[in-house]
Structure 1
Amino acid sequence: MLPPEPMAAAGLRGRRVLITRSADRARTLAALLRSKGAIPLVLPLIDFEQATDQASLDSALDTLAAGGYEWLVVSSTTTLRVLIGKAAERGTTASQLVPAGTKVATVGLSSRRALEAAGLPVDLCPTGEQSAEGLLEVWDSPNARIFLPQADIASPRLREGLATKGASVDAVTAYHTVKYPAHDSRRLTAELPAAVGLSGDGLPPQLTAEAVKARLGAGALDAIVVASPSAVRRIAQALLPLGACRLVAIGRPTAAEAARVGLPVAATANEPTPAGIATALETIFANEGNPQ
């Protein structure tokens, strides 16, 4: 028999959890943590800007719209934001950028929900490992021509893995990952569909790096949630030492980057969703008393 929900949530009661995203992107997770008695705070570490080479991106999008690709592979919800923005420039919608004969694949359930909320049915998504490796494990379309819009700092493992399986991959930089905040004139401004669930019940408090360092020094943070390898690198550059604060990674690539830079990971979320992150946090504090 499963334990009653109040006991499951008790481990988070009073826990101060830092989410390393901007307040608007963190509010769904923050709302869930708040419902479990935690105190969510945010410190944005990275932001996103439009790709410098818009001509290559526009050319690939023209090929996509003309039916020149058998697959569109979307590896992040930020890529979907780019597609929504580019569609708006063209006076259309993201779903209309993708012709009926082109299949859509993605790396995890969160991006699948976002794509489907934008009107893009997903044909392939891993249900086990939510990552590029997970998608490669279930990929079974040899010799396909693929459009893969990605971040400028995206790992080559997805592109190379698809190519190893016989695909012809057009990997195009869709956006740049930068230190927060992005430049006003280049920041991605397109919003994900409301159905993705970014509303929450209010924005959590947003801190500065100096305020976070002061809290870390005072032992006033219990956990930090980090969502990407680039955010791990920013933590290593700007926030050390973490003291007794636990690091929770969203996904194996993020955990691997933390290990590479010498940051111990207390838990890794099995799913890159608010529920998956909350579960990872609960496993850390389940056997500890609540903070006074």
Structure 2
Amino acid sequence: MGAQAGALGGRRVLITRSADRARPLASLLSGLGAEPLVLPLIDFERATDQAALDAALDALAAGGFDWLVVSSITTVRVLVEKAAGRGTTPAGLVPTGTRVATIGPSSRQVLEAAGIPVALAPVDNQSAEGLVGLWAAGSGRVLLPQADIAAPGLREGLAAKGADVTSVVAYHTVDFPARPGFRLQAELPAAVDRSRHTTAEELSPLQARGELDAGTIDAVVAASPSAARRIAAALLPLGRCRFIAIGRPTAAEAVTLGIPVAATAKVPTPDGIVAALGTVFANEGNIR
């Protein structure tokens, strides 16, 4: 990453996440001489149907599932919050006989930091598609807690492999900010968030618009298709600002929305995002 990272010095990078979720990437960017900026565009609220979610977690704790499939860090926040409400740990929600699968290194890291061992996760294609590709035919009963707007690919892919999938809404993705009292705000395990003291300037949409018009933002990072949609609704035109997608679904959504994609992070981690940014700026040399 050395040569690529060297191209980041002085670059101003807009991260379209809330400050707490942006910290790991902001910390890495700062350490490489870039200036991270934060513009929260999406937020997360607790599931409206708590009874359905609680029933699914009761069945999980009772050994009713062979697998728990976790497709996002936000789902882990739900598990942390639910465990606290039940007077247990996140690991206490998952019985010994139930295996856990996830789709990427970030989710795996946070699950294992919470004491939940991960039995299956793709290495090369770190995505829902990658997990489905690894899935053994059948594999029994699966609990899949997801966002209300989650794409059907993971659920349908596992079912096509013969799994008996129970899908439940774990949280709602909403425009930032979430409603007071509804926001999902459980903290991840401290071992995961090593950048708690990192701060980045937080912009309002109006400030971001002014910066984009002035050409003073070099790149904007979108972590999900929903973030791409919010960027399209609130920030276009991007001008000279390059759009960096985290994952192929985000890139595909951006293309559908007419947003040129400068690069797609091959790995959905801060290192992977920095590598994508570094490639874009290294190819441009010193052109600003």
TM-score where L is the length of structure 1: 0.96
- Report the Cα offset of residue 260 of structure 1: 1.1
Q: Is the aligned partner of 1:77 residue 2:73?
A: yes
Paired with 1:207 and 1:95, the residues of 2 have a C-alpha distance of 37
| AA of the residue aligned to 2:70 | V
Give the match for residue 172 of structure 2.
Answer: 176
- How far does residue 184 in structure 1 lie from its aligned partner after superposition? 1.3
Partner of 1:33: 29
- In the TM superposition, what whole-angstrom CA distance separates every residue of 1:33-88 from its partner, at most 9, and x where no partner exists? 11111111010000000000000000000000000000000000000000110111
Q: Tell me how far 1:198 sits from its aligned partner.
A: 4.7
Aligned-pair CA distance for 1:290: 4.0
User: Quick check: 1:48 aligned with 2:44?
Assistant: yes
Cα separation, 2, equivalents of 1:238 and 1:154 = 22
The answer to whether structure 1 residue 152 and structure 2 residue 143 are counterparts is no
> Is structure 2 residue 220 aligned with structure 1 residue 216?
no
CA distance in structure 1 between the aligned counterparts of 2:11 and 2:287, rounded to whole angstroms: 7
CA distance in 2, matches of 1:90, 1:190: 14
Cα shift at 1:201:
4.2
2:134 maps to what in 1? 138
Whether contact under 8 Å (2:14, 2:38) holds in the other structure is: yes
Cα deviation for residue 202 of structure 1 reads 2.0
Query: Paired residue for 2:272?
Result: 276
1:156-193 CA-partner distances (Å, limit 9, x unpaired): 11001111111111000000000001111100121110
- Counterpart contact for 1:21–1:42, Cα < 8 Å: yes
Q: Please tell me whether the aligned partners of residues 5 and 275 of structure 2 are also in contact (alpha carbons under 8 angstroms).
A: no
1:202 aligned residue: 198
Distance in 1 between the 2:106 and 2:17 partners? 16
Whether contact under 8 Å (1:217, 1:243) holds in the other structure is yes
- Using the alignment, how far apart are the partners of 1:165 and 1:63 within structure 2? 22
Percent of pairs with identical residues: 64
Superposition map of 1:1-292 within 5 A:
5=2, 7-290=3-286
d(CA) in 1 for partners of 2:170, 2:86? 16
Cα 1:164–1:267 change in 2 (3 A) is same
2:37 partner amino acid: L
Cα distance in 2 between the residues matched to 1:139 and 1:241: 41
CA shift, 1:199, in A, is 2.3
2:8–2:281 CA contact under 8 A, matched in 1: yes
Q: C-alpha distance in 1, partners of 2:137/2:88? A: 29
Question: 5+ residue gaps in structure 1?
Answer: none
Aligned counterparts of 1:188 and 1:132: Cα–Cα separation in 2: 23
Task: Answer whether contact 1:76 1:111 (CA < 8 A) is retained.
Answer: yes
Q: By how many angstroms is 1:148 displaced?
A: 0.3
Instruction: Could you tell me which runs of 5 or more consecutive residues in structure 2 were left unpaired when the two chains were aligned.
Output: none
Provide Cα deviations, 1:227-252, integer angstroms capped at 9, x if missing partner: 00000000000111001110000011
> Quick check: 1:14–1:290 contact (8 Å CA) kept in 2?
no
In 2 relative to 1, CA 291–31 (structure 1 residues): closer, same or farther, beyond 3 Å? farther
**For residues 117-150 of structure 1, what are the alpha-carbon distances to aligned partners after superposition, in whole Å with 9 as ceiling and x for unaligned?**
0000000000011110010010114151000000
Q: Please give the TM-score of this superposition, normalised by the length of structure 2.
A: 0.97
SS of corresponding position for 1:104: strand
